[in-house]
Amino acid sequence: MIYTISSYLALLLVREQIILEEDRRTYEYGFEITIANFINALIIIFIGLCLHSIKEAILFYMVFVSLRYFCGGYHADSYIKCFLSFALTSAICLGISTWFVWIQKGLWIMFWAVTAGLGGCIWKKAPIENENRPITSEERRIFRKRSIQVYCFWTSVGIILWMADQRKLIATLISTFIAISILMFCKEGGRT
Question: Any bridge partners for residue 130, and if so which?
Answer: 133
Q: What is the pTM for the complete model shown?
A: 0.86
Round to whole Å and give the CA distance between 179 and 34: 23
What backbone torsions phi and psi does residue 136 show, to the nearest 5 degrees?
-75, 170
Percent of the chain with pLDDT over 90: 56
Q: How many CB atoms are located within 10 Å of the residue 144 CB? A: 17
Q: List pLDDT tens digits, range 89-136.
A: 999 999 999 888 887 778 889 999 999 999 999 999 899 887 756 788
* Confidence at residue 37, expressed as pLDDT on a 0 to 100 scale: 92
Round to whole Å and give the CA distance between 100 and 178: 12
Residue 189 has pLDDT above 50, yes or no: no
